[in-house]
Chains A and B, each alone.
Chain A
Amino acid sequence: MEKSLNLVLHVWRQKNRDAKGQFVRYEAKNISEHASLLEMLDQVNEGLLEKGEEPIAFDHDCREGICGACGMIVNGHAHGPRKATTVCQLHMREFQDGEEIWIEPWRAAAFPVVRDLVVDRGSLDRIVQAGGFISTRTGSAPEANSLPVAKEKSDRAFDAAACIGCGACVAACPNAAAMLFTAAKVAHLNLLPQGEPERDTRVRNMVAQMDAEGFGHCTNHYECMEACPKHISVEFIAQLNREFMSATARARQELRPRRK
């Protein structure tokens, strides 16, 4: 038989960027164990709308763990307590009946709160933009074997490309560093022949942008990897450091980050 849960929520409510926020207590009644955490919030929001109150704002899109839009700190864990799972895929059976659940937004200077649980992650987009284009030929698909890629490299590039840009790594990092995200985005192109021509400028510009956005630095706590819903490994951070050092050694051009 399907179980249902009654829960007590403490949710961060904040009207806008400049407003002072606070935790507000809500009761979530009759929540199906099969509901996702976001569906649970939907249900709470319906109740709020009926009472004429503002619903809790949170980001979401695909609700199947692939877009990276959702994200919040649930009981102290980025994307909630279940490993390698986005919060849209986190089911309420992970919780006990009567449990208190604290929900907070990602916290980082580079992720200002827009409203309630919604933060502005434009800083991550600007890091990707700073990486620039790849000068590979577009148009009709090339013959598949014209550009051989070693299996081991394509596997690793795929592992890196699994990053959905959710920002949980930043949220979980004690230094609010974006190293895991940047490392994944650098690695997935720098491992492939298509990414080879711009390999050095890509890593230099992305690191410069990462710093300009006001993220912290890496002190190897590995909290990012633990929080990442896509299992991105800190091995990519080592690779980022390596790429950045060698690209700097070869560089013949000055490095200037873009404006925010």
Chain B
Amino acid sequence: MIKALSFSDTTIGKKVLMAVSGLVLFGFVIGHMLGNLQVFLGPKVYNDYGVALRDAPLLLWGVRILLLVSFLVHIAMAMQLSALSRAARPVGYKMRKDAITTFAARTMLYSGVLVLLFVLYHLAHFTFPGVAMGAYEHSHTGDVYSNFVNGFSIPWVVALYVAAQVALGLHIYHGAWSLLQTFGLNNPLRNATLHGGARTLALVVVVGNILLPLSVLLGLVQ
């Protein structure tokens, strides 16, 4: 007897789970960027934002748990699917070259892993109490503005952040369109708009997120 399959046993099902979790993460990336762009509005606004988040533990922890679950689902599906597809071509070609795919599409697993490593570093840098990687005094007094300025005064830290945003950018450049196709939302009448929209959004996220770590060295935030 062959085992009955559930939705998540099929490659399409796994892909849908990946798209759903990817969408949650994408949504967070946008929210996180908008939240932090408030740094340009000055210490008062930015610190109030930080305190407001801290004082809403239900929201904060709700989002954190949702993100953790999304990450776990996304990564588990990525690992399972890429193992399946590696096994699907045990003997490769001598001459075959990809004709139309993009660099971003071919490197999704690598950009994903880089994003994961970066997220771990980023959490250690700003969130986990007492770790403070990047050598500065970690204040937990609610002065997130100073944390921001201190954190991004160190050039190697800034360089690392910018590089990570490039990896994230490549990931969501392909991911944003890919998820529409996975959900079956693709339609010839709307494709150009959807395609353009998804990629513009990915670009906006990258530019916004690169601006943040660079802002201190550029003298935009002091």
Chain A positions near chain B (C-beta within 8 angstroms): 23, 73, 75-77, 102, 104, 107-110, 172, 174-177, 207-208, 210-211, 214-223, 226-227, 234-235, 237-245, 248, 254-259
Contact = CB atoms under 8 A, between A and B. Distances in A.
B184 A255 contact: no
A107 B5 contact: no
B16 interface: yes
Contacts of B97: 76
Contacts of A23: 94
Contact of A109 (B1, B90, B98): B90
Interface of B: 1-7, 9-16, 81, 84-85, 87-101, 105-106, 108, 174, 177-178, 181-188
A102 B93 CA distance: 10
Contact of B3 (A214, A216, A256): A256
Q: Which of B97, B181, B183 has the most CB of A within 10 A?
A: B181
B6 to A, nearest CB: 8
Contacts of A216: 11, 84-85, 88-89
Contact of A238 (B3, B81, B184): B184
B171 to A, nearest CB: 12
A172 B97 CA distance: 9
B89 A211 contact: no
A237 B181 CA distance: 8
A245 to B, nearest CB: 7
Contacts, number: 144
A76 B99 CA distance: 9
Given A76-B93, A257-B2, A219 B105 contact: yes
B101 A221 contact: yes
A238 B99 contact: no
Instruction: Give 3 closest A-B pairs by Cβ, nearest first.
Output: A242-B184, A216-B85, A216-B88
A259 to B, nearest CB: 7
A256 B92 CA distance: 31
B95 A73 contact: yes
B13 A248 contact: yes
B186 A238 contact: yes
Contacts of B95: 73, 75-76, 102, 104
Contact of A255 (B1, B4, B15, B93): B4
A176 B2 contact: no
B19 to A, nearest CB: 9
Given A235-B186, A238-B185, A255 B88 contact: no
B108 A219 contact: yes
A241 B92 contact: no
B180 to A, nearest CB: 8
A172 B89 CA distance: 11
Contact of B10 (A110, A177, A208): A208
A235 B191 CA distance: 10
Contacts of B85: 174-177, 216-217, 219
